[in-house]
Chain A
């Protein structure tokens, strides 16, 4: 009898505990994202949503929904900046940009109208904070001309400026409210916390709750001057790709950002739609140019042998449907990209001849990469193993040197890695953003490729920088083709950005600029 009583108490306790835990779990009302709520999931890369400080993927995704920008990329066409809050005009010498306030009916989430003062304050705050995105407006002087006009004057020709202004880090904030909450245009600014909890933008949404560890909730901005979003509430949750997969399948989430191609393909079409956007990331192999670091990677014949030893089709297959070949480091959708039909092909006979010419004797070459990094679904560890197998077939022996991302980045920056996999994500969609790979550039220095190492390329780079609007695309393409031909950087693949959207969302827009657009989803 006593034992029965004890068992009964134990069962009751268990049930009570389970019920209690279920009650405490919370969030069940927005678990499935019903009616006017949409649930999106991503593995957070989020430090802040203060637009002038954020420089991470998740921060950018959120700020795209909270803030409008002076210029935009219409329908994700990254080759052509268009009017946003303002219209623009560039001077012939590319040194002066004149912005005219165009959307005079634009209003912040508290109902205040967007003014030229707000735009000037936002630009100056971005510059003055000296944060991660401040470099966007380096060397640019901002001046209010009148209540409708702003002048941006650059120290030297700055044809990339129209491509920079659509960035969500240059979102326009309500200067009056931000100033009232310790906002300044210098490093003394103390408005970050305020902006994290109370967005001050004129975009389709405003912030509701902000928890950078678990979830961020947005609600519709009733003063938005565009079409009112159908989904009045957006819940962005921080979960791993594996959980995103199960949540999409179970209907717990409507948008998954981080599924790789294999995971996306494992979802039945009756459950979700897959949309593939060209990524703005580039994956490449680097070869160190310092003979003290490596005798063999400094040899041009060897580097060319490496380029022709790669089975690019297999790399594409590994990267998933929609991934693209690259003939240069600039993504194919950007102005100044090298046409992908000029990309090298695998040619093992050529490799063997070049290897013989280079004097390579089969030594193992340390090959560095981030073992815990996946770029748009391309697992760098798997990519390294694939390359190792392909190189072995060609007679090149690699000794894989995996390391966690932070360690790997430190090693790369130290300039002591002979060879490895590098990645570059565009800060803005303009070929000038890739000048860092030109001899003497900040990334080129990591492989000890000094400014005077290749005068021909330096000359082409100068020519591209000085080219006018019509010819700069071709000039950059020519320069980046020559850069690839040296074999110091061997472009591997432009991955694909796969977004999976649940079938409960009937209509949506996703493009290379804003990714998934919550405001246009229905």
Chain B
């Protein structure tokens, strides 16, 4: 390979060239090739199936929920039965309806917060890694500052300072989760920037922005995608934790974490906490399965390391 020929160039190739070329030859983006295969593992399939079910539940929640999730129309603390499938809570609200409607809050919020923190962290990490020196020092020391605190504690402090509410919980999680992406992206960019194809691009007069976006980004994005997928589960757990502590969604908005918090003082009415807990468990597992499968295919180097460690 001569200098200036990127391994995975974002420049692409013409249709005729692509048709006659081996898929592993330069010019084909890695994610385009491997992403569909990543879910073909058993765990990936299970994860995707669970996630699909939850997506359907979230999208069609108003049709699936049998009752108004805010209506206090039923006897308090009624056990699961034919009328209230998963029982009622301390205020006489249908637990099943609340769980279903809560999916509409939790899922989009978790995905949104992960996308935002991945974008923010990756951009900052890429800038730090590419430019180095003072820029790197400033950005990474700020990241270290955030890393110095346990995630949930820092999120609690931020959410408490901003006041309870879904928006503030999202901001809190965003502020504590971006440094992971910054650190991963920075190390990848630092490696990539000394690659021959990047150097060649710069010699050809590419700007820093173009070099980062067109040359480096496609080659560092896979680990970030894997990290983001695994992080959705963590984001859901953190949001549930904040809601448990009354720092998440403001009542009466149904929220899994808040429902568990309510159930904790009602051991006899086990259904109040058990079913929202089950929801969190399944959805976090789903994202973890998908993340693991993506890592195995998109980031074989890490997968190999994990395999060696666990074997």
Residues of chain A touching chain B, judged by Cβ–Cβ distance below 8 Å, are 241-242, 245-246, 260, 262-263, 266, 314, 317-318, 371-372, 379, 381-382, 384-386, 388-389, 400-404, 407
Contacts and interface: CB of A to CB of B under 8 A. Distances in A.
A500 B82 CA distance: 34
Interface string B22-49: 0000000000000000000000000000
B164 A262 contact: no
Nearest to A404: B160
Contacts of A379: 90, 265
Contacts of B288: none
Contact of A382 (B91, B250, B267, B269): B91
A245 to B, nearest CB: 6
A372 B266 CA distance: 16
Max chain A CB contacts within 10 Å: which of B262, B268, B269? Answer: B268
10 contacts: A242-B265, A242-B267, A262-B268, A371-B246, A382-B90, A386-B91, A389-B72, A400-B251, A402-B164, A404-B246
A401 B91 CA distance: 19
B83 to A, nearest CB: 19
B107 interface: no
Contacts of A404: 160, 246
Interface of B: 70-72, 76-77, 90-91, 160, 163-164, 246, 250-252, 262, 264-269
Contacts of A241: 265
A39 B168 CA distance: 43
B252 A372 contact: no
Contacts of B265: 241-242, 260, 263, 379
B266 A318 contact: no
A397 to B, nearest CB: 12
The 10 A-B pairs at the shortest CB distance, nearest first, are namely A266-B268, A371-B246, A385-B252, A385-B251, A389-B72, A402-B164, A400-B251, A400-B250, A402-B246, A382-B90
B171 to A, nearest CB: 17
B164 to A, nearest CB: 5
Contacts of A245: 267
Contacts of B264: 242
Contacts of A246: 267
A317 B76 contact: yes
A385 B90 CA distance: 11
Given A381-B251, A400-B251, A262 B72 contact: no
A249 to B, nearest CB: 10
B85 to A, nearest CB: 21
A389 B252 contact: yes
Q: Would you call the interface of chain B mostly helix, strand, loop, or mixed?
A: loop
B163 A403 contact: yes
A144 B250 CA distance: 59
A431 B298 CA distance: 73
Nearest to A260: B265
Given A241-B265, A263-B268, A402 B250 contact: yes
Contacts of A382: 90-91, 262
Contacts of B160: 404, 407
Contacts of B262: 382
A228 B269 CA distance: 42
B266 A263 contact: yes
Given A389-B72, A400-B250, A402-B164, A266 B267 contact: yes
Given A317-B76, A318-B91, A389-B70, A402 B267 contact: no
A371 B160 CA distance: 12
Given A266-B268, A404-B160, 10 more contacts: A242-B267, A262-B76, A263-B266, A263-B268, A372-B246, A386-B91, A388-B252, A389-B91, A402-B246, A403-B164
B266 A262 contact: yes
Contacts of B269: 262
A374 B265 CA distance: 11
Nearest to A388: B252
A237 to B, nearest CB: 19
Contacts of A372: 246
Nearest to A267: B268
Contacts of A389: 70-72, 91, 252
A384 B251 contact: yes
A310 B72 CA distance: 14
A135 B269 CA distance: 44
Contacts of A386: 72, 91
Contacts of B72: 314, 386, 389
A402 B252 CA distance: 11
A459 B91 CA distance: 42
Contacts of A262: 76-77, 90, 266, 268-269
A386 B90 CA distance: 10
B221 to A, nearest CB: 40
A18 to B, nearest CB: 26
Contacts of B252: 385, 388-389, 400
B246 A381 contact: yes
B254 to A, nearest CB: 11
Contacts of A371: 164, 246
Nearest to B245: A372
Nearest to B250: A400
B158 to A, nearest CB: 14
Nearest to A383: B91
Contacts of B71: 389
Contacts of A266: 267-268
Nearest to B73: A389
Nearest to A386: B91
B288 to A, nearest CB: 29
Contacts of B164: 371, 402-403
A263 B91 CA distance: 15
